[in-house]
Structure 1
Amino acid sequence: MRRDYDVTIPDMLFPTDNELEIPTLDINMQARECQIPFLCFGEQKRTYNMNGQGTLHFYTDDYRFTSVYEHPEKIFKQHRPANIVEPNFSLYNETPISFGMQALYKKRWIARAMQSRGIGVFVDLNVAQKWYQLNMLGVPRGWQAFATRGYSNRLNNLAFELSIAKDWALGKTPLFVIYGGGNECRRFAQENGCVYINPVVTTKKKLEAVKKIQEGVAFFNEEFSLKKELEKLTPFTHQIEDYSKMNKQIGENKESLSENE
C-alpha cells in the first residue's frame, strides 16, 4: 500500500527510445494486479482518497481530465491510487497525426510521471485503429499490463487489442483489463482469460435494486433478513470479474495431464 507520496512534481523530460521523443515507460513499474476499487477520474469527490489501493482510470469525456497534464498532482495528491490506466485522450481515425501525437505524448508523460511517484501503470489500448501502432511508442517490449474500454459493437477491435497485448508481452500472459461493455464483453473476457470491470455506476444501480427488493420481503424474525449482509456490500464488492486466473488454472491442468500421459 502506497503512503509516501510527494505533493509536487517538477516539469521534466523523461528518457525516450523513439525518434518522436515520446517518454518511455518504466517496465518495472507496470501494474501487477487489478484490485478494487476501479474508479473513474471525476467519478468520486475530488478529495476521495484511495489510500494506495485500487486503480484510477480515465474512460470518460476528455474535458474532465485535460487539466491533469498541467496538474498531475490531482492524481497522486488527491486520490493516491496504487495504479492508473493511462489517460484516454480521444484519438479517432479522423484525427490528424500531427494533432494526435500531442495527445499521445501527454498520456505517456502522465503515466511516466506517476511511475516516478511509485504508481503502477496499465497501458491504454482504447484508440481508433489508425493509431494502434503509434499508440505503442514508448511502451517497452515485454510489457504485460493493458486496459481498454469495452463496446458491444467493437468486439473485433477488442480482439485486435488483445492480440497487440499478447504480442507485446513476448510470450507471457498479459494482464488484460476490459472496462464495461455489457454481456458481450464479459463473455469475451471469460473466453479469453481477461479481467472484466463492472463500472461503478452499474454496480450502484444493481445494489440499490437488490436493497429495494429486500425491503419488500415479509419476514417474522431477523434470521431471514438480508439487511445485515447487504449493509456489508459496496459498489466495489463485485466490481471485478477476474477470468485470467481461471484460464491459468485450466492451462496448468492441461500441462499436468500431458505430463502424466
Structure 2
Amino acid sequence: MQRAKIDISKVIPNEGQLEGLPRNPRLIKDEKFRKLCRSIQSLPEMTEARDILVYPYNGSYVVIGGNMRLQAYKYLGWTEVPCCILPENMPVEKLRQMLIQDNNPFGENDWDALANEWDSLELEEWGFDVWQEPKEDKQLKKPKQQEETGEEEVRKADFFAMMLGDRIYDSNNEFDVPSLLFDGQPTSGLLLPFAGWGSDTRAKKGISTYHFYVEDYRFTNIWNNPISVLDSGCTELVEPNLSLFDTTPIAYGLQQIYMKRWIARFWQECGAKIYVDLNVAQKFYKYNCLGIPDGYDAFATRGYTDRQEYLKLEIQIAREISGKDNPNMIVYGGGEAIRELCLQNNVLYVEQFMANRVKQIKKGGENG
C-alpha cells in the first residue's frame, strides 16, 4: 500500500461504481456534519495522521474508508487530501470487509469515565455524542411545532457557518484590530443567567450571558470554532479574556487582542451583544482600547481584592470611552472590598458564583 496526497477532485465517494461493492451505508447530515467540519478545523493534525482509504478506479480513487471526511474536506475547500492507496489487485471481498469494518464502532463507551474524567462541553465540541438518547418509536410523528423548530435551528447553524469563513473586518486603528459594532452592545442591566464558559456544563443550554473569566484552557478552541458558543443559545457575551500579563511581549499581546476582538465582532455580526473585556495587564490598557468605538457603553472586568487600583483605572477607561460618569460595567468577583468599590463608583458587582459554591461545600454543604 502507498501513502500519498491526492488532488481532491480525483477522490470520489463510493456510490457502487465497483462491481460487487455496495455503496457506503453511512450518512452524515446537518449538525453532525457541521461538528465534523469544526473538528477538522480545530485539529488538522488528526487529518495528517489518518488517511482516507482509497482504491484506484478509471484514473480516479474510490473511497473505501472515509466518505464522511471527504465530504467535510470538500466543504472546507481543501485541494488535496492524505490517502492510503490500496493495491489494484485487491479482491472485492476484502474491499467489502474493509468498508464495513471502517464503519463498525467496536467496543462500548465507559459512560462513568466520560462523565467523571472528561469535560462534556469539550466532548460535544469535538463531535462526540455525550448523551445516549432513547430510541424513538418510528410510528410516532413529531408535533409540527417541533419540526419547525428543528428546521429553524438548522437554518440558524447554516447562517453561522456562512458567517465564519476567512474575514477581515473594518478597523479604526493602524494595527487592523477589528472595530466593534456600536449597535452590538447590551443595554443597561445584566441578562441572567450569567456563567463562566465551561465552568458548569450541566447548565449550558440555559445560560443567557457568558463570560470567560475562567482558566484559558476552557476556551482556547474558540478561535478555531467561535460558532460553538453561539450554538449554546446565549444572546450576550463578554469578550474572551485571553490572558495578558506585564511579562507578555507587546507583539504577542497585540495578537491576543486582535483575536478576542475579531471573535467579538463575529459574534456581533451573528446577532449577539458584546461586553468589552477590560481585564488586561496595565501595560496593555491602550492597546486593549483598539477597535472600541467612541461612546461604546458595555464593559466587563474581573475584580481582585489585592488589585483595587487596577479596577479604578479600568472604571476610568470605561468612563472615557463611554463618555458617561456611570458606565454600563460588570465587575465579576473579588469579595467585599471590590463590592464596596463598585458601589462607590456605581458599577455592577457580580459575585463569583463558583467560588462561593466551593466555600459552601467546604463548610458542610448547601441549604435547600
Shared fold (TM-score greater than 0.5)?
yes
In the TM superposition, residue 175 of structure 1 has moved relative to its aligned partner by: 0.8
Partner of 1:237: none
In the TM superposition, residue 171 of structure 1 has moved relative to its aligned partner by: 3.3
Q: 1:71 to 1:104 in 2, by over 3 A?
A: same
Provide the C-alpha distance between the structure 2 equivalents of 1:169 and 1:71, rounded to a whole number of angstroms: 31
Partner of 1:21: 176
Among the aligned pairs, what percent are the same residue?
35
Q: 1:35 to 1:208 in 2, by over 3 A?
A: farther
Partner of 1:39: 195
Provide the C-alpha distance between the structure 2 equivalents of 1:64 and 1:101, rounded to a whole number of angstroms: 21
TM-score (norm 1): 0.74
Q: Superposed, which structure 2 residues align to 1:48-59 within 5 Å?
A: 48-50=204-206, 54-59=208-213
Provide the C-alpha distance between the structure 1 equivalents of 2:353 and 2:168, rounded to a whole number of angstroms: 35
1:67 to 195, 210, 221: 221
Higher relative contact order (CA 8 A, sep 6+): 1
Provide the C-alpha distance between the structure 1 equivalents of 2:271 and 2:351, rounded to a whole number of angstroms: 26
Provide the C-alpha distance between the structure 2 equivalents of 1:28 and 1:162, rounded to a whole number of angstroms: 21
Compare CA radii of gyration and give the structure with the larger one: 2
1:193 to 343, 346, 368: 346
Are residue 137 (structure 1) and residue 290 (structure 2) matched? yes
CA contact (8 A) 1:16 1:24 kept: yes
Q: Which runs of 5+ in 1 are unaligned?
A: 215-229, 231-261
In the TM superposition, residue 188 of structure 1 has moved relative to its aligned partner by: 0.8
C-alpha root-mean-square deviation of aligned residues, in Å? 2.3
Are residue 120 (structure 1) and residue 120 (structure 2) matched? no
Provide the C-alpha distance between the structure 1 equivalents of 2:229 and 2:366, rounded to a whole number of angstroms: 38
* Secondary structure in 2 matching 1:48: helix
In the TM superposition, residue 44 of structure 1 has moved relative to its aligned partner by: 2.0
Partner of 2:336: 183
Q: 1:166 to 1:64 in 2, by over 3 A?
A: same
CA contact (8 A) 2:319 2:326 kept: yes
Partner of 2:239: 86
Partner of 1:156: 309
Letter of the 1:157 partner, please give it: Y
Aligned residue pair count: 210
Partner of 1:111: 264
In the TM superposition, residue 153 of structure 1 has moved relative to its aligned partner by: 0.4
Q: Which runs of 5+ in 2 are unaligned?
A: 1-152
